[in-house]
Structure 1
Amino acid sequence: MIHAPELVAHEAALAASPKGAPRPWWEGRPFVVAMILLAFVPFLWPSIPPVVDLGGHMGRYKVATDLSTSPYLHKWFQFRWLPIGNLGVDLLVVPLAKLIGVEPATKLIVMSIPPLTVAGMLWVAREVHNRLPPTVAFALPLAFGHPFMFGFVNFALSMAFAFLAFGLWLRLGRLGKSKLRALLFVPISFVIFFCHTFGWGTLGLLCFSAEAVRQHDRGHSWWMAIIRAAYHSMAMAGPVLFLLLWRSEATGGVTARWFDWGFKWEYLLRMFRDRWETFDIASAAIALAVPLFALIHPRLILSRNLAFSGLVLALTYVLLPRIVFGSAYTDMRLVPYAVAIFILAIRFKAETRFPLATWLAVAAISFMLVRLAGTTASTSIAWARQKEQLQALDHVPLGSRVAVLVWDGCERWSLRRSDHLGALATVRRDAYTNDHWPMAGSSLLTVRYPDAGWFQRDPSQIVRDRGCRHEGWAIETALDYLPAPAFDYLWLLDMRPIPRAWVDGWTPVWAGEGSILLRRADAGARPPAKPQTASAPGR
């Protein structure tokens, strides 16, 4: 049986560099600072981070910020704060927006999520290995994985905090400060829970699995180690009370699509899904291959601590359904973070071999830089298109009712950034649009505009050609059923060419690449108010 002091000495020896060797560059503070700062780069230029769902989130921030002062928003929206596990970015953006406006506040908070995630990954690796392994940079681009680029910003923020908290949990455990850890993780668990329930659950799994390994390494049997790990993890159980209260009041949210193996395999390939299919799938293959390479290489191994945590997350991914309480893509969200844990687990079996370590570090940094350059180019392309499309709002009067239709080309790999771009009409023009998503038990926003019928909320804005795998309106069907008197404007985004007869009764007002704005022919033409900009005080 190995006692704790002996184990610590043994583990430290495994991670050590040869005696008298200089500190490798990938272990120094300049490397850490550089990795964190580089994660800011992809969103420096865009005024609005071009991630898929963000427009809808921003519409909610706008309502929360200006509902009491706007003469228009109260006609269609209600907003009330609730103690639910889905508040992360809202709690940060709304008060900041009162000072600098919704758009700058959103950019500042959202662009900070990847650097926070990178910092958390680096801390976790440092605590487990007593130093940063040369392969650590292979994991860092996963901070820009598919869930983040899809716009699950509350979830992504909670996962960034979860990784940072996991690093703190490991550190306090290594220092033997279990009582202090228990005290600190009571409030920490509540903070992460209110960011997003998923992050809190993931943190619990990470801390429990790591503690089980630590307790076993201290000489306890696996059964006793699991029991003791559960006891220590109880410090994070407080939010269960809020979870039970929240879900008991929620109605209408279904849980479905268990063990959908086709999608689970696709989500592994899509962990980097952004714009270029070959590039993204190749990146996913590299991320999956790196831990496998460590398993077969004679000088490398996976830390039992993080490998066990990775296995727990992998099992959770297998068991999770695709839809939980009406929230889709539940299992998909876990993929990049589980893969990151396996990559962070890589270490040398014995002393660090500098020729191999240097080669691995260069390869990892190259992968990080190439992925970062691709993400930066993709966001720049997306923002250039969105910036042109948003010129349509200069022709929309304040307080208008705008029907938005976005064409979904079937089975395209490139993420469609326009799904909720229409909600920017709410942000900039205090307008009603049909792409907000009040969801039972998880949203603070309520939409009330019965005249719009089926066009009250998301996903009524998504239209597809017949025969697409995913459900949705056909374009002509949506236009046939659109209650024209309920809207002043029709905004078509990324629309393929359609017959003019399909929009009979609507008069074109403005057109640009990928965007056309039409006004209802029998609606009184109101001159647009002076355009509001992202820098306007108080917006």
Structure 2
Amino acid sequence: MQVPQGRSRFGRFHLDWRAGGLPWLSIPGLILGTLLICMPFVLVEVPPLVDVPGHMGAAAIEAASPASPLGKYLGWKWVFTLNIGGDVLMKVLGAQFGILAAGWWSTVLATALFAGGALATIRMANPRGGHGAPWAMMFVFSFPLLTGFLNYILGTGLSLTMFAAAIWLEDRPRLRAAVLVVAQPLAMLCHAIGGLLLAILIASNALGREMDRLPAGWWRRSQWRTVLSTHDWKAALRRLVVLCWPLLATVVTIILWKLLSPAPVRSLNTWRWDQKGEFLWLTLRDQSFWLDAVTTVATFALLLVGPFLGGRWNWQRGLPGLAVAVLYVIIPSDINGSAFVDVRLLPPAMMLLLGLQDWSGAPARRAKAIALAGLALLGLRTVVTAASFADYADDFRQQLSALEHIQPGSRVLTFVEHSCIEESWRNTRRDHLASLASVYRQAWVNDNWAIPGLHMVVPRFRPARNFVADPSEFVWSRGCQGGRLRSVDSALRYAPIERVDYVWLIDTGLPRNPDPRLRLVWQEGRSLLFAVRPLGFPTWRPRDN
């Protein structure tokens, strides 16, 4: 008796290990690919992603005991909000392994889920034509991950993984529905937009399948009458209901969030159309302008030229990526105080469009060449990423040596030079490094995210109105936007120096007009740490570099 593909002779679903003969989509290939993507993290203790030190600082505040000095300065209030995946994961891991290990493991697990979920989706939806999988993997280390949007990466990774599981379980509708009903609230709690992707992917995939069932040329006006009279619309509607009714769990989650979550302080939604256009170019910005530029041009060229070379989409494979791309265009850029909401969607859109581009109908040698070229470029980018992680690890160690000169429980006013593209393509990723003072020294810093209704950190110590939380720590060099933004000198001019114990300047260089209350206790290149003393004559003298 011939066994139908995908099932054993006893009717129980089993996995096809080879996935249509493409080795990178076999189960060993999927596992190996995910591990290789995560390999750069082996080189670091603190993941060098912009926001990760901030997440670790927040975890230290949440875990602080009543006797901790942090409790005098900062509190934590758990609220029901769709942005807590990383916080919950760090709490669970931190209770067992400590904050540093929790931050590292949370980042690695989120990255693995993001990469593995994308590969699993390609495996399930495009097993024989997924030659674009290596090209899709280039968007793992893209703007959202390199920025350290852990909640979003975790939510998106869970959505991609559960989307793949939903395709796998289509022959077992009850189990599939149960998995989706549980997975959707979990993904939404990780992050609203990342979790919403699961419902969008399920719905667009189901709708695309029905569009593929329509007669050829159904979009022509001359065919509409024939299609309306001959197509079994009732059967199509039944199939859509069976596949999509579990998505009500997303609707229920959103309703509960609106009813139970505190109203956000910032409710203004803003569309930044220039930002949407710029990030078509900037989403792969990493270490090398030319490597990132070549990669960006190559990936867009593959999408545009691929259909002429044999890489095509049907509606079922193309609509999920197209739906995410449309959402990227229409969604606001800032929502309730959360910035860069829209541009986070570009990487998963590109991953879906590239990975689900079907090359099975192209000549075999051409499809193989496309896959090998993608693997070579992906390998090069992974090596560059790993080398950069080693460099960032050395830099972080040098910068954090300042903490050896800070007394536990101190108040540390921090200013960090925010890197801008006008001066350097490579990001220093020091923006939230000061938050690690809360981890290592139980110290207060003005670096925390503390928007009510969005974050759970509650400031108790407020040295001055505009020096309580992020983004009060940012200053800019003269080369950024022509020097119109706040410099370290203008920041120090209004800073509440008399109410803190230390002033930590990260990569700002020496202020032009040093305050006489500041005594230099540490310097590493352009970074300096000052202890605050009563008003007197300046006695510090910076050492030459």
Please give the range of the TM-score, normalised by the shorter of the 2 chains.
0.7 to 0.9
CA displacement, residues 49-101 of structure 1 (integer Å, 9 cap, x when unaligned): 0111111111110011124341x111111112222111112111113212221
> For the residues of structure 2 that align with 1:131 and 1:373, how far apart are their CA atoms?
28
Alignment-derived partner of residue 16 in structure 1: none
Partners in 2 of 1:77 and 1:220 — Cα distance? 62
Partner of 2:47: 49
Q: Once structures 1 and 2 are overlaid, which stretch shifts more, 481-490 or 232-241?
A: 232-241
Residues 42 and 376 of structure 1 are in contact (CA less than 8 Å); yes or no, is this contact kept in structure 2?
yes
**Secondary structure of 1:40 counterpart:** helix
Aligned to 1:437: 449
Whether 2:220 is the aligned partner of 1:209: answer: no
Partner of 1:199: 194
Residues in 2 aligned to 1:26 and 1:468: alpha-carbon distance in whole angstroms: 43
**Structure 1 residue 279 corresponds to structure 2 residue 274:** no
1:481 aligns with 2:481: no
Offset of residue 241 of structure 1: 2.4
Shift of 1:452: 3.5
Q: Does 2:498 correspond to 1:507?
A: no
* Aligned match of 1:97: 94
RMSD: 2.5
| Preserved CA contact (<8 Å) 2:267 2:335 | yes
Q: Which amino acid is the alignment partner of residue 51 of structure 1?
A: L
The residue identity in structure 2 corresponding to 1:178 is P
Shift of 1:40: 1.5
Is 1:59 aligned to residue 62 of structure 2? no
**2:16 paired residue number:** none
Identify the match of residue 321 of structure 2 among 306, 310, 313: 310
**Higher relative contact order, chain-length normalized (CA < 8 Å, sep 6+):** 1
Taking structure 1 as reference, are residues 431 and 235 closer, same or farther at Cα in structure 2, changes over 3 Å only?
closer
Alpha-carbon distance in 2 for matches of 1:131, 1:398? 58
The alpha carbon displacement at 1:225 in A equals 8.3
2:31 pairs, out of 33, 36, 41, with: 33
* TM-score calculated relative to the size of structure 2: 0.85
Question: Aligned partners of 1:335 and 1:220: how far apart in 2?
Answer: 36
User: How far off is 1:217 after superposition?
Assistant: 4.3
User: Which residue of structure 2 aligns with residue 17 of structure 1?
Assistant: none
- 1:333 matched to 2:331? The reply is no
Residue 144 (structure 1) aligns with: 141
In the alignment, structure 2 segments of 5+ residues that lack a partner are 5-19, 214-230, 537-545
- Residue 115 (structure 1) aligned to one of 107, 112, 115: 112
Structure 1, residues 148-191: CA drift from partner, whole Å, max 9, x if none?
11111111111111110110112223x2x333322221111111
For 1:244 and 1:408, how far apart are their aligned partners in 2? Answer: 35
2:415 corresponds to 1:405: yes
CA change 1:431–1:189 in 2 (3 A) is same
Q: Does 1:367 align with 2:365?
A: no
Q: Distance in 1 between matches of 2:270 and 2:480?
A: 19
8 Å CA contact retained: 2:131, 2:359: no
Write the deviation string for residues 92-134 of structure 1: whole angstroms up to 9, x where unpaired: 1113212221011110120222222221111111111244622
Secondary structure, counterpart of 1:442 in structure 2:
coil
Q: 1:454 corresponds to which residue? A: 466
Work out which of the residue numbers 66, 69, 80 in structure 2 matches 1:83.
80
How many residues are matched?
496
CA contact (8 A) 1:27 1:131 kept: no
Maintained 8 Å contact 2:199/2:247: yes
Distance 1:220 1:420, change over 3 A: farther
Distance in 2 between residues matched to 1:155 and 1:309, nearest whole Å: 18
Moved over 6 A (4+): none
Deviation sequence 1:187-234 (CA, Å, 0-9, x none): 111111111111111111111100112244456559958974654532
Aligned position for 1:294: 306
Describe the superposition over 1:346-381 as per-residue Cα deviations: whole angstroms up to 9, x where unpaired.
11353x643223212211211211111121122221
Equivalent in 375, 379, 390 of residue 380 of structure 1: 390
Query: Does 2:231 match 1:236?
Result: no
Distance 1:523 1:92 in 2: 45
For 2:239 and 2:301, how far apart are their aligned partners in 1? 30
1:235 Cα deviation after fit: 4.2
Letter in 1 for 2:56: M
Q: 1:254 deviation in Å?
A: 3.2
Alignment CA distance shift 1:243-1:340 (3 Å): same
Aligned to 1:254: 267
- Which amino acid letter does the alignment assign opposite residue 197 of structure 1? A
By how many angstroms is 1:474 displaced? 2.8
Residues 215 and 67 of structure 1: is their aligned pair in 2 closer, same or farther, counting only changes over 3 Å?
Answer: farther
Other-structure match for 1:494: 507
Name the SS of the counterpart of 1:419 in structure 2.
coil
**Identical-pair percentage:** 28
Larger CA deviation: 470-479 vs 73-82? 470-479
Code of the residue aligned with 1:416 in structure 2: it is: T
1:26–1:361 CA contact under 8 A, matched in 2: no
Contact 1:389–1:513 (CA under 8 A) maintained in structure 2: no
Tell me the distance in 2 between the aligned counterparts of 1:101 and 1:136.
Answer: 36
**CA–CA distance in 1 between the matches of 2:252 and 2:292?**
39
Q: 2:49, 2:148 within 8 Å by CA — same for their partners in 1?
A: yes
TM-score by length of structure 1 reads 0.86
